[in-house]
Amino acid sequence: MQLEESGTGADQQEIDQLTEMFHLEAGVVEKYLRWAGVYWFFSFDGEDLGLLQGFLGRSMESKQSVNSIIGERVMLTVLISLGTILFTWAIALPIGIYSAVRQYSIGDYITSVIGFIGMCIPNFLLAVLLMYGAWEWFGMSVSGLFSPEYATQPNWSWGKVVDLLQHIWIPIIVIATGSTAGMIRVMRGNLLDELKKPYVTTARAKGVRPFKLLMKYPVRLALNPFISGIGGIFPALLSGGAIVALVLSLPTIGPLMLTSLLSQDMYLAGSMLMIFSLLGVMGTLVSDLLLLWLDPRIRMEGGSR
Average pLDDT over residues 24-32: 83
Both 195 and 93 in a single domain?
yes
Identify the band that residue 305 occupies on the pLDDT scale cut at 50, 70 and 90.
very low
Give the number of other Cβ atoms within 10 Å of residue 132's Cβ.
11
Q: Report d(CA 139, CA 124) in Å as an integer.
A: 21
Both 48 and 112 in a single domain?
no
Report the amino acid identity of residue 8. T
**Total H helices, total E strands in the chain:** 16, 0
Both 273 and 138 in a single domain?
yes
Residue-number span of the structural domain to which 151 is assigned: 71-296
The answer to whether the beta carbons of residues 172 and 87 sit under 8 Å apart is yes
Report the amino acid identity of residue 243. I
The answer to whether the beta carbons of residues 206 and 272 sit under 8 Å apart is no
Considering the domain boundaries, does residue 63 fall inside one? no
Both 10 and 127 in a single domain?
no
Per-residue pLDDT tens for 178-220? 778 888 888 888 889 888 888 888 888 888 888 888 888 888 8
Per-residue pLDDT tens for 283-304? 788 888 888 887 777 766 654 4
Q: Report d(CA 180, CA 126) in Å as an integer.
A: 14
Both 113 and 152 in a single domain?
yes
What angle separates helix 230-240 from helix 158-195, to the nearest 10 degrees? 130
Per-residue pLDDT tens for 86-129? 888 889 889 999 999 988 899 889 988 888 888 888 888 888 88
Domain count for the chain, please give it.
2
Both 158 and 33 in a single domain?
no
Categorise residue 125: left if φ over 0, alpha if ψ from -120 to 50, beta otherwise.
Answer: alpha
Q: Has residue 162 got a pLDDT over 70?
A: yes
Average pLDDT over residues 32-46: 84
Global pTM value: 0.78
What are the beta bridge partners of residue 58? 65
Identify the band that residue 240 occupies on the pLDDT scale cut at 50, 70 and 90.
low
pLDDT at 20: 78
The CA distances from residue 271 to 60, 85, 199, 208, 224, in Å, are 12, 24, 50, 54, 32
Q: For the chain, what is the mean pLDDT? A: 81
